[in-house]
């Protein structure tokens, strides 16, 4: 049976993202520079995942492309960094039916699924869902994920650690995205959450986030 554990995303990065959501500015580290080569970054820039901490690092395009090529060449096992792809792909109208969703063991309607390297054929998969205190992680049973992959082959393209299946069940939104998009959503949920249940503003903010993914709204 799946067990829920507290697996918080890096708190310093979440604080920066939350401040950016409040100010309408693109989140950047205090140096405003690539964290590998120190080049000054534009407002829109790429990210890397630093392993094994699974923390985001801001990167210039040249450094991100370097790690893109390493991933394509298959040199990922011992890398300290992996490039987060620029990925926003919406899946079909409803690729997860209620039976498939129930089998994944997620107790909420908004979650993202990340593959981690492991012994299972498709790796170890964790479902994460934002909360006002961070991100809660629930281990997904390998058999349930394999059944989902047979129904929706697109999820097999998820790259471990750097891409995610993002699901908003109530709005029937299902996306393959870079993990940095999930960080951005988490920060906005934390920043706008009020009271015990989140309040109306958090759902308005979630709706705005998905509108930005669809291109219906300008990014914050």
220 residues of the chain, pLDDT tens digit each: 444 444 444 444 544 544 454 445 544 444 578 999 999 998 889 999 998 888 899 999 999 988 887 655 545 444 688 999 999 999 877 778 888 888 998 888 999 999 987 655 557 899 999 888 878 898 999 999 988 888 888 888 899 999 999 999 989 899 999 999 999 999 999 999 988 888 899 999 999 999 999 987 555 5
What local confidence, expressed as pLDDT, does residue 71 receive? Answer: 58
Pairing of strands 124-131, 134-139: antiparallel
What local confidence, expressed as pLDDT, does residue 18 receive? Answer: 46
Q: Say how far apart CA 129 and CA 142 lie, in whole Å.
A: 19
What local confidence, expressed as pLDDT, does residue 176 receive? Answer: 95
What local confidence, expressed as pLDDT, does residue 130 receive? Answer: 86
């Amino acid at each position: 049976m799946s067990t829920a554990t507290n697996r918080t995303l890096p708190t310093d990065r979440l604080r920066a993202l939350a401040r950016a959501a409040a100010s309408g500015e693109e989140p950047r580290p205090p140096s405003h520079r690539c964290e590998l080569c120190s080049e000054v970054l534009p407002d829109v820039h790429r990210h890397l995942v630093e392993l094994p901490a699974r923390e985001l690092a801001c990167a210039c395009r040249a450094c991100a492309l370097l790690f893109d090529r390493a991933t394509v060449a298959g040199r990922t096992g011992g890398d300290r960094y992996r490039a987060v792809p620029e990925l926003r792909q919406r899946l079909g109208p409803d690729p997860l039916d209620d039976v498939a969703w129930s089998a994944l063991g997620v107790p909420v309607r908004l979650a993202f699924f990340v593959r981690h390297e492991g012994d299972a054929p498709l790796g170890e998969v964790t479902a994460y869902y934002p909360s006002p205190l961070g991100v809660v992680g629930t281990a997904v049973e390998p058999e349930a994920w394999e059944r989902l992959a047979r129904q929706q082959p697109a999820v097999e393209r998820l790259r471990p650690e750097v891409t995610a299946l993002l699901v908003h069940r109530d709005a029937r939104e299902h996306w393959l995205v870079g993990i940095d998009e999930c960080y951005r959503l988490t920060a906005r949920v934390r920043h706008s959450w009020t009271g015990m249940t989140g309040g109306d503003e958090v759902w308005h903010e979630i709706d705005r986030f998905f509108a930005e993914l669809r291109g219906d709204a300008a990014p914050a």
